[in-house]
Structure 1
């Protein structure tokens, strides 16, 4: 419309539009879907120019003449959509004419119909492809979780050997799989330890129970003097006392292993608790000619009675295995991040291959000697459990034929 207005303003009047319409026809010819009609103003409203085959006469009464550009969508007799624009334009001589320019939208409709048909045909296929792609992505994303489910279904208390593969897993799932594997390792170790403990406990209880039954059956096999019955009862009482100590130690281990045992933690002086334990063992040490010595002091957070129990177990072992007329040294030392209480004694020492197993339940470096002395085989296991509850650890160093030193290592008390 702007080009038409520009051409009309170059000097054309109503007569020139009829006689020399070439400049206007050039704007429309070559575009089969454009139709141009120029109508004069009142009183005759005659058609000055009509280019194109599209009849536009019905539009002459549909548009009210106005200076601004107006638009109208309408349908011709063939059912085609037509978009028309109408505007009053001034000629060079000031005369005004009405310009109608129409666009046949048949090609647009054909293109839109073809696009719609193609879309309706392709859409089901596209939806199928999208669905298959989504299914594949979901299956690929859920594959690690299926692996987790398969491993979880295989894990039982009888079989804890299955582990999750961390290969080709996303970073987040890789960390989760690693954490689950670590958990399974701990559970496996715990179950194996429990199974071993059950075996050791059965073996440990079988010997005294067998002795009790054997002695009782042998005693009852015939009539005996009262003195023999008394001797058998005294011997059985010793075995029963040993069984009672085993049961008591097992109950204490169960108590120490429970997290609620930390509720009674207070500030504890290692020197004060060691001194109390030394007073309890003063007579037994004196009988053997052993001197007890204490050096150093430090404060830790813990359960006073449990710490006394740990020191007592170490000190009783030291007195039992030290050389006569020697000194057992209890030494408290403070380090940057820990506090140590060690119990050292000269003596036969412990062979190196025994050291890693000393804190295991029912483990004995010299089983015959320990049983004869009334040991239960749980003393050092109790020490280990007590230190684990205090977030510390126990360790041992020994040189055969020279000395043995057991140490309780506590974390330093926060400033």
Structure 2
């Protein structure tokens, strides 16, 4: 909705907030690990690798040892079966007698004479015996067995056997063997025990490492806390009392953390000295500027008064009258500069502002209307909310802020430029915007645009007597009110945004 107010176009249609919005880039879940997590994970990983390697090595050695023992038993079994003289002792193992006890594992004996299988027996641990199936016998005969023990899988239900084959003096081939399943069971049991103990050790090492690392890093946490507290102190301006230091117990230079703490204390000492010197220099300079500005006001007022008085004399020649007008103009400009410097010096010194309710809606309407009178070659617009917006502050200083921003837009943009003064309420305060569709600000100047005596370049031609302090005053007054001021600019759009708290 647009209306006209004393020659000013008013647009009260609410619009979205100016400026881009968005969230920062997301970080991956494994980035930015703390030293504590890195140490714990590294130690646990190393422990797990050592445990796995140790378990694998122990199980391998145990398996080899049991195989060697089994090979010895297989050889002794073969010798017992053959009997004295190298012939088969009856070719069939006898069941264990009651006094001898039961055999520890199944034992097989196969005697082959030519192509005839004379004996095919498996003595079981319970003292009985049974015969091998023909596929099992054929698997033994086709395995290429020798007097050196080798492994043959006889399938269900016997499984793998460690067997040897010996040829007797009569040409008979005697195959004897013992099962390997008890060996595999022993190795499997050993691996399960190792895995269980390794898991228990992993948990104990994890808890213990986390506690020990946390305890060891407590001094570093205290050093980091000190650095964090210092980082939150306002050190950019004003009087700073830097009393934060790392505790003496965390500055033992014999330890790594102590070296960090001592180095941080040395740094803080140097910063404290530098801040004190900076504060003294700023105080001296601020006092000089305030005193000089105050003292210059009287002679400047006298110069302007005598100049005006002299110009009333009609008998002055034209050249003298022109010179006096030039003196009057420059003295007025110098008086404005002195007033700006004095205001900045007072704001730097922390002079209290008045606190009263200020209707920003009417304030913006009045200042934009005044700017229209001064700059009729520009198009002036208002973007106002339906309800008035009020804050608590210094009306005179806030008026000066708006006047400076509007004058900046008028002086540094060509005729025909549209300048829009916007206002909206937000949670806890108000947002004022002064935007124009002029050529924009040089990007190289944006970082220093609020610095004192900063001037625009040819991209925003200066047609008036600018002192270079207008935007500095805008920032100083806004900051004194607890607010912020920002600027964004590109060709065709330049926008100054002020955010002011609502106040008490």
Report the TM-score when normalising by structure 1. Answer: 0.46
Instruction: Give the greater-gyration-radius structure (CA).
Output: 1
Higher helix share: 1
Say which structure, 1 or 2, has more relative contact order (CA 8 Å, 6+ apart).
Answer: 2
Report the TM-score when normalising by structure 2. Answer: 0.39
